[in-house]
Amino acid sequence: MSILFFLISLFLSGCSPQKEVFKREEMVLGTFGEITCFGEKDSCKKGIDKAFREIKNLEEILSFFKAESDISFLNNAQGKPVGVKKETLEVLKKAKEISQKTQGAFEVTVAPLLAIWGFYQKEKESFSPPSGELIKETLALVGQDKIILAEDTGSVILKNPSMKIDLGGLAKGYIVDRAVAVLKKEEIKNALVNLGGDIFCLSEGRTAKVWKIGIQDPQAKEKLIATLKVRNKAIATSGQYENFREFKGKKLGHIIDPRTGYPVENDVLSVTVVASDCLTADALATAIFVLGKEQGSALLKTFSAEAVIISKSPKGKRLWISGGLKNKVSY
Protein backbone atom coordinates (compact mmCIF):
# COMPACT_ATOMS: atom_id res chain seq x y z
CA MET A 1 0.00 0.00 0.00
CA SER A 2 1.34 3.42 -0.74
CA ILE A 3 2.57 5.20 2.27
CA LEU A 4 4.23 8.55 2.24
CA PHE A 5 7.24 9.34 4.27
CA PHE A 6 9.47 12.22 5.00
CA LEU A 7 12.38 12.86 7.19
CA ILE A 8 11.99 15.09 10.20
CA SER A 9 15.38 15.41 11.76
CA LEU A 10 17.50 16.88 9.03
CA PHE A 11 21.19 17.51 9.27
CA LEU A 12 22.54 17.79 12.73
CA SER A 13 25.02 20.53 13.31
CA GLY A 14 28.59 19.40 12.87
CA CYS A 15 27.78 17.02 10.03
CA SER A 16 30.48 16.90 7.42
CA PRO A 17 29.55 18.81 4.27
CA GLN A 18 30.08 15.73 2.09
CA LYS A 19 27.23 14.00 3.86
CA GLU A 20 24.14 14.32 1.79
CA VAL A 21 20.88 12.61 1.06
CA PHE A 22 20.66 10.31 -1.95
CA LYS A 23 17.51 8.77 -3.30
CA ARG A 24 16.71 6.38 -6.11
CA GLU A 25 13.32 5.15 -7.30
CA GLU A 26 12.70 2.12 -9.47
CA MET A 27 9.80 -0.14 -10.34
CA VAL A 28 10.56 -3.49 -8.71
CA LEU A 29 8.36 -6.45 -7.69
CA GLY A 30 5.57 -4.88 -9.73
CA THR A 31 5.52 -1.92 -7.38
CA PHE A 32 7.19 1.36 -6.60
CA GLY A 33 10.54 0.94 -4.89
CA GLU A 34 12.70 3.65 -3.36
CA ILE A 35 15.83 3.83 -1.30
CA THR A 36 16.85 7.00 0.50
CA CYS A 37 20.24 7.13 2.10
CA PHE A 38 22.14 9.61 4.28
CA GLY A 39 25.89 9.58 4.17
CA GLU A 40 28.97 9.94 1.99
CA LYS A 41 28.20 10.14 -1.69
CA ASP A 42 30.26 7.15 -2.80
CA SER A 43 29.13 4.72 -0.12
CA CYS A 44 25.49 5.74 -0.56
CA LYS A 45 25.59 5.31 -4.32
CA LYS A 46 27.37 1.97 -3.99
CA GLY A 47 24.97 0.87 -1.24
CA ILE A 48 21.87 1.83 -3.22
CA ASP A 49 23.20 0.07 -6.36
CA LYS A 50 23.92 -3.11 -4.44
CA ALA A 51 20.61 -3.00 -2.57
CA PHE A 52 18.58 -2.70 -5.79
CA ARG A 53 20.61 -5.57 -7.27
CA GLU A 54 19.77 -7.67 -4.21
CA ILE A 55 16.07 -6.78 -4.56
CA LYS A 56 16.02 -7.85 -8.22
CA ASN A 57 17.92 -11.08 -7.52
CA LEU A 58 15.49 -12.02 -4.78
CA GLU A 59 12.52 -11.20 -6.98
CA GLU A 60 13.84 -13.73 -9.53
CA ILE A 61 13.83 -16.40 -6.81
CA LEU A 62 10.63 -15.65 -4.90
CA SER A 63 8.18 -14.25 -7.42
CA PHE A 64 4.95 -16.08 -8.23
CA PHE A 65 5.00 -14.48 -11.68
CA LYS A 66 8.57 -15.23 -12.88
CA ALA A 67 8.70 -18.48 -14.84
CA GLU A 68 12.18 -19.40 -13.56
CA SER A 69 11.59 -18.62 -9.87
CA ASP A 70 11.78 -21.27 -7.15
CA ILE A 71 8.10 -20.58 -6.53
CA SER A 72 7.14 -21.32 -10.16
CA PHE A 73 9.22 -24.53 -10.13
CA LEU A 74 7.45 -25.59 -6.94
CA ASN A 75 4.03 -24.66 -8.26
CA ASN A 76 4.62 -26.73 -11.40
CA ALA A 77 6.26 -29.73 -9.72
CA GLN A 78 3.10 -31.87 -9.51
CA GLY A 79 3.92 -33.08 -6.02
CA LYS A 80 7.59 -33.93 -6.70
CA PRO A 81 10.42 -32.63 -4.49
CA VAL A 82 12.13 -29.46 -5.73
CA GLY A 83 15.59 -28.30 -4.70
CA VAL A 84 15.32 -24.64 -3.72
CA LYS A 85 17.66 -21.79 -2.82
CA LYS A 86 18.33 -21.14 0.85
CA GLU A 87 16.32 -17.92 0.68
CA THR A 88 13.20 -19.79 -0.42
CA LEU A 89 13.59 -22.28 2.39
CA GLU A 90 14.12 -19.45 4.87
CA VAL A 91 10.97 -17.61 3.77
CA LEU A 92 8.87 -20.79 3.73
CA LYS A 93 10.07 -21.66 7.22
CA LYS A 94 9.05 -18.21 8.44
CA ALA A 95 5.70 -18.53 6.66
CA LYS A 96 5.07 -21.81 8.45
CA GLU A 97 5.93 -20.32 11.81
CA ILE A 98 3.68 -17.29 11.23
CA SER A 99 0.84 -19.50 10.03
CA GLN A 100 1.09 -21.52 13.24
CA LYS A 101 1.20 -18.41 15.43
CA THR A 102 -1.81 -16.86 13.66
CA GLN A 103 -4.03 -19.95 13.78
CA GLY A 104 -3.78 -20.30 10.01
CA ALA A 105 -4.91 -16.74 9.19
CA PHE A 106 -1.62 -16.23 7.37
CA GLU A 107 -1.27 -18.95 4.78
CA VAL A 108 0.95 -18.89 1.68
CA THR A 109 -0.95 -21.83 0.19
CA VAL A 110 -3.91 -19.51 -0.54
CA ALA A 111 -2.78 -19.19 -4.20
CA PRO A 112 -5.45 -21.53 -5.67
CA LEU A 113 -8.08 -19.46 -3.83
CA LEU A 114 -6.61 -16.25 -5.24
CA ALA A 115 -6.82 -17.91 -8.67
CA ILE A 116 -10.51 -18.83 -8.46
CA TRP A 117 -11.32 -15.35 -7.17
CA GLY A 118 -9.69 -13.92 -10.31
CA PHE A 119 -6.68 -12.26 -8.71
CA TYR A 120 -4.26 -13.58 -11.33
CA GLN A 121 -6.50 -12.37 -14.16
CA LYS A 122 -5.52 -9.16 -15.89
CA GLU A 123 -9.03 -8.39 -17.13
CA LYS A 124 -10.97 -7.08 -14.15
CA GLU A 125 -14.21 -6.69 -16.14
CA SER A 126 -14.76 -10.38 -16.90
CA PHE A 127 -14.79 -11.36 -13.24
CA SER A 128 -17.51 -13.41 -11.61
CA PRO A 129 -17.19 -15.10 -8.22
CA PRO A 130 -16.57 -18.87 -7.94
CA SER A 131 -19.32 -21.26 -6.80
CA GLY A 132 -19.51 -22.42 -3.21
CA GLU A 133 -18.65 -25.91 -4.37
CA LEU A 134 -15.48 -24.79 -6.15
CA ILE A 135 -14.42 -22.82 -3.07
CA LYS A 136 -14.89 -25.93 -0.93
CA GLU A 137 -12.85 -28.09 -3.32
CA THR A 138 -10.11 -25.48 -3.51
CA LEU A 139 -9.90 -25.20 0.29
CA ALA A 140 -8.62 -28.79 0.30
CA LEU A 141 -5.39 -27.47 -1.30
CA VAL A 142 -4.76 -24.98 1.51
CA GLY A 143 -2.74 -25.61 4.66
CA GLN A 144 0.79 -25.90 6.03
CA ASP A 145 0.35 -29.62 6.67
CA LYS A 146 0.64 -30.04 2.90
CA ILE A 147 4.09 -28.42 2.62
CA ILE A 148 7.13 -30.50 3.49
CA LEU A 149 10.34 -28.57 4.13
CA ALA A 150 13.38 -30.84 4.02
CA GLU A 151 16.14 -28.62 5.35
CA ASP A 152 18.78 -31.35 5.20
CA THR A 153 18.39 -31.77 1.44
CA GLY A 154 17.31 -28.18 0.74
CA SER A 155 14.16 -29.35 -0.96
CA VAL A 156 10.45 -28.69 -0.68
CA ILE A 157 7.41 -30.82 -1.51
CA LEU A 158 3.91 -29.52 -2.14
CA LYS A 159 2.04 -32.72 -1.37
CA ASN A 160 -1.01 -32.15 -3.55
CA PRO A 161 -0.15 -31.80 -7.28
CA SER A 162 -2.70 -28.99 -7.69
CA MET A 163 -1.36 -26.92 -4.78
CA LYS A 164 0.28 -23.56 -5.33
CA ILE A 165 2.00 -21.06 -3.07
CA ASP A 166 2.22 -17.29 -3.32
CA LEU A 167 4.58 -15.34 -1.08
CA GLY A 168 2.80 -12.03 -1.83
CA GLY A 169 1.92 -11.58 1.86
CA LEU A 170 5.52 -11.52 3.12
CA ALA A 171 8.11 -11.58 0.32
CA LYS A 172 8.28 -7.80 -0.03
CA GLY A 173 8.97 -7.53 3.69
CA TYR A 174 11.73 -10.16 3.51
CA ILE A 175 13.30 -8.41 0.53
CA VAL A 176 13.23 -5.05 2.33
CA ASP A 177 15.13 -6.67 5.23
CA ARG A 178 17.72 -8.07 2.84
CA ALA A 179 18.16 -4.70 1.13
CA VAL A 180 18.69 -3.10 4.55
CA ALA A 181 21.32 -5.74 5.38
CA VAL A 182 23.17 -4.77 2.19
CA LEU A 183 23.13 -1.08 3.17
CA LYS A 184 24.38 -1.93 6.66
CA LYS A 185 27.25 -3.91 5.16
CA GLU A 186 28.22 -0.74 3.31
CA GLU A 187 28.28 0.92 6.73
CA ILE A 188 25.31 3.14 5.98
CA LYS A 189 23.67 4.27 9.21
CA ASN A 190 20.62 6.21 8.10
CA ALA A 191 18.43 5.04 5.25
CA LEU A 192 14.90 4.24 4.28
CA VAL A 193 13.91 1.33 2.05
CA ASN A 194 10.35 1.34 0.74
CA LEU A 195 8.91 -1.36 -1.50
CA GLY A 196 5.31 -0.40 -2.21
CA GLY A 197 4.62 0.59 1.38
CA ASP A 198 6.70 -2.09 3.09
CA ILE A 199 9.30 0.06 4.78
CA PHE A 200 12.36 -0.17 6.96
CA CYS A 201 13.67 2.94 8.66
CA LEU A 202 17.35 2.48 9.40
CA SER A 203 18.56 4.84 12.12
CA GLU A 204 21.88 3.98 13.70
CA GLY A 205 24.91 5.57 15.21
CA ARG A 206 25.53 8.99 16.74
CA THR A 207 23.48 10.83 14.13
CA ALA A 208 20.51 8.41 14.13
CA LYS A 209 17.54 9.99 12.39
CA VAL A 210 13.90 9.69 13.29
CA TRP A 211 11.68 9.01 10.30
CA LYS A 212 8.10 10.19 10.04
CA ILE A 213 5.80 7.87 8.12
CA GLY A 214 2.35 8.86 6.93
CA ILE A 215 -0.53 6.40 7.14
CA GLN A 216 -2.95 6.80 4.26
CA ASP A 217 -6.63 7.31 4.86
CA PRO A 218 -8.04 4.01 3.51
CA GLN A 219 -11.16 5.84 2.35
CA ALA A 220 -9.43 8.85 0.74
CA LYS A 221 -6.08 7.86 -0.71
CA GLU A 222 -4.79 11.39 -1.17
CA LYS A 223 -5.13 12.11 2.55
CA LEU A 224 -3.02 11.04 5.50
CA ILE A 225 -4.96 9.87 8.52
CA ALA A 226 -2.03 9.78 10.91
CA THR A 227 1.74 10.05 11.08
CA LEU A 228 4.07 7.83 12.97
CA LYS A 229 7.61 8.41 14.23
CA VAL A 230 9.80 5.43 13.49
CA ARG A 231 13.39 4.72 14.38
CA ASN A 232 15.21 1.55 13.38
CA LYS A 233 12.02 -0.37 12.77
CA ALA A 234 9.97 -1.83 9.96
CA ILE A 235 6.47 -0.73 9.06
CA ALA A 236 3.97 -2.35 6.71
CA THR A 237 0.31 -1.79 5.88
CA SER A 238 -2.38 -4.14 4.60
CA GLY A 239 -5.73 -3.08 3.24
CA GLN A 240 -8.21 -4.15 0.62
CA TYR A 241 -8.54 -0.69 -0.93
CA GLU A 242 -5.91 -0.93 -3.66
CA ASN A 243 -6.18 -4.41 -5.13
CA PHE A 244 -9.74 -5.64 -5.42
CA ARG A 245 -12.31 -7.14 -7.77
CA GLU A 246 -15.74 -5.61 -8.08
CA PHE A 247 -18.88 -7.68 -8.40
CA LYS A 248 -22.38 -6.24 -8.33
CA GLY A 249 -21.12 -3.11 -6.63
CA LYS A 250 -19.30 -5.07 -3.93
CA LYS A 251 -15.53 -4.77 -3.51
CA LEU A 252 -13.72 -8.06 -3.00
CA GLY A 253 -10.14 -7.57 -1.84
CA HIS A 254 -6.99 -9.61 -2.43
CA ILE A 255 -6.60 -10.84 1.14
CA ILE A 256 -8.32 -14.20 1.46
CA ASP A 257 -9.49 -15.81 4.66
CA PRO A 258 -7.86 -19.26 4.42
CA ARG A 259 -10.45 -20.67 6.83
CA THR A 260 -13.46 -19.83 4.66
CA GLY A 261 -11.96 -19.44 1.18
CA TYR A 262 -13.63 -16.03 0.75
CA PRO A 263 -12.01 -12.59 0.47
CA VAL A 264 -11.92 -11.05 3.92
CA GLU A 265 -14.97 -8.99 4.72
CA ASN A 266 -14.91 -7.40 8.13
CA ASP A 267 -14.91 -3.89 9.53
CA VAL A 268 -11.14 -3.45 9.22
CA LEU A 269 -10.07 -0.85 6.67
CA SER A 270 -6.33 -1.03 7.15
CA VAL A 271 -3.71 -2.50 9.46
CA THR A 272 -0.29 -0.90 9.91
CA VAL A 273 2.23 -2.97 11.84
CA VAL A 274 5.52 -1.77 13.33
CA ALA A 275 8.00 -4.56 14.06
CA SER A 276 11.74 -5.07 14.32
CA ASP A 277 11.91 -6.68 10.88
CA CYS A 278 9.87 -6.08 7.76
CA LEU A 279 9.00 -9.72 7.06
CA THR A 280 7.18 -9.83 10.39
CA ALA A 281 5.51 -6.44 9.83
CA ASP A 282 4.34 -7.48 6.36
CA ALA A 283 2.99 -10.92 7.29
CA LEU A 284 1.44 -9.75 10.54
CA ALA A 285 -0.41 -6.87 8.84
CA THR A 286 -1.99 -9.40 6.46
CA ALA A 287 -2.82 -11.80 9.31
CA ILE A 288 -4.38 -9.13 11.52
CA PHE A 289 -6.44 -8.01 8.56
CA VAL A 290 -7.83 -11.54 8.30
CA LEU A 291 -8.45 -11.96 12.03
CA GLY A 292 -10.00 -8.56 12.68
CA LYS A 293 -9.20 -6.08 15.44
CA GLU A 294 -9.98 -8.11 18.57
CA GLN A 295 -8.24 -11.37 17.71
CA GLY A 296 -5.61 -9.69 15.58
CA SER A 297 -4.46 -7.15 18.14
CA ALA A 298 -4.11 -9.93 20.72
CA LEU A 299 -1.33 -11.36 18.52
CA LEU A 300 0.91 -8.33 18.73
CA LYS A 301 2.62 -9.46 21.95
CA THR A 302 3.55 -12.82 20.40
CA PHE A 303 5.54 -10.94 17.76
CA SER A 304 6.73 -8.02 19.98
CA ALA A 305 5.00 -5.74 17.49
CA GLU A 306 2.80 -2.65 17.59
CA ALA A 307 -0.05 -1.62 15.31
CA VAL A 308 -2.47 1.03 14.14
CA ILE A 309 -5.76 -0.52 13.07
CA ILE A 310 -8.31 1.57 11.22
CA SER A 311 -11.81 0.15 11.15
CA LYS A 312 -15.27 1.21 10.08
CA SER A 313 -17.52 2.68 12.71
CA PRO A 314 -21.03 4.11 12.67
CA LYS A 315 -19.43 7.57 12.64
CA GLY A 316 -17.11 6.77 9.75
CA LYS A 317 -13.90 5.25 11.00
CA ARG A 318 -12.05 4.49 14.18
CA LEU A 319 -8.34 4.48 14.87
CA TRP A 320 -6.98 1.93 17.34
CA ILE A 321 -3.38 2.40 18.47
CA SER A 322 -1.48 -0.20 20.47
CA GLY A 323 0.07 0.85 23.80
CA GLY A 324 3.67 1.07 22.64
CA LEU A 325 2.82 3.52 19.85
CA LYS A 326 0.65 5.93 21.82
CA ASN A 327 3.32 8.66 22.04
CA LYS A 328 4.59 8.07 18.52
CA VAL A 329 1.40 8.63 16.53
CA SER A 330 -0.15 11.99 15.64
CA TYR A 331 -3.57 12.24 14.07
Applying CB under 6 A, the residues found at the interface with ligand ADP are 1, 106-108, 110, 114, 166, 168-169, 172, 196-197, 238, 243, 254-256, 258, 282, 285-286, 290
Q: Is 237 in the site for Mg ion (CB under 5 A)?
A: no
Burial label for 306, CB within 10 Å (0-12, 13-18, 19+), is: buried
d(CA 290, CA 288): 5
Smallest distance, ligand ADP to C-beta of residue 25, A: 17
Minimum distance from CB of 39 to ligand ADP (Å)? 28
> Least distance from C-beta 102 to ligand ADP, angstroms?
8
DSSP structural state of residue 276: S
190 binding partner (options Mg ion, ligand ADP, none; Cβ < 5 to 8 Å by kind): none
d(CA 251, CA 240): 8
Q: SS3 sequence, 81-93?
A: CEECCHHHHHHHH
The DSSP-derived string for 123-175 is: -STT--PPPHHHHHHHHTT--GGGEEEETTTTEEEESSTT-----TTTHHHHH
**How far apart are the C-alpha atoms of 193 and 215, rounded to whole Å?**
16
110 binds, among Mg ion, ligand ADP, none (CB under 5 to 8 A by kind): ligand ADP
Instruction: Give whichever of 114 and 176 is closer to ligand ADP, judged by the CB atom.
Output: 114
Torsions phi, psi for 237 (to 5 deg):
-125, 140
Choice between 39 and 169, CB closer to ligand ADP: 169
Task: Using the rule CB under 5 A, give the single segment among 117-125, 139-147, 166-174, 241-249 that binds Mg ion.
Answer: 166-174
59 versus 282: smaller Cβ distance to ligand ADP = 282
Of 33, 39, 169, 239, the residue at the interface with Mg ion (CB under 5 A) is 169
Q: Taking the complex as a whole, how short is the minimal distance between the CB of residue 204 and ligand ADP, in angstroms?
A: 26
* 114 interface partner picked from Mg ion, ligand ADP, none, CB below 5 to 8 A per type: ligand ADP
By C-beta, is 76 or 243 nearer to ligand ADP? 243
| C-alpha dihedral (150, 152, 154, 158), degrees to nearest 10 | -10
What does the alpha-carbon distance between residue 3 and residue 294 come to, in Å, rounded to a whole number? 25
The CB-nearest residue to ligand ADP is: 168
DSSP letters, 251-264, are EEES-B-TTTSSB-
Contacts of 29 (CB under 8 A, 6+ apart): 55, 59, 63, 171, 172, 175, 195, 196
d(CA 331, CA 319): 9
Smallest distance from the beta carbon of 261 to Mg ion, in angstroms? Answer: 19
Please, which residue, 138 or 286, has the CB nearer to Mg ion?
Answer: 286
Of residues 62, 174, 286, 305, which one binds Mg ion by CB under 5 A?
A: 286
Supply the minimum distance, in Å, between the C-beta of residue 250 and Mg ion: 23
47 near Mg ion, judged by CB under 5 A: no
Binding flag, residue 203, Mg ion (CB under 5 A): no
Size of the site for Mg ion (CB under 5 A): 4
Task: Report, in Å, the least distance between residue 18 CB and ligand ADP.
Answer: 36
CB closest to Mg ion, residue no: 286
Task: Return d(Cα 213, Cα 198) in angstroms, integer.
Answer: 11
Q: Does 282 bind Mg ion (CB under 5 A)?
A: yes
Q: Residues in the site for Mg ion, rule: CB under 5 A?
A: 169, 282, 285-286
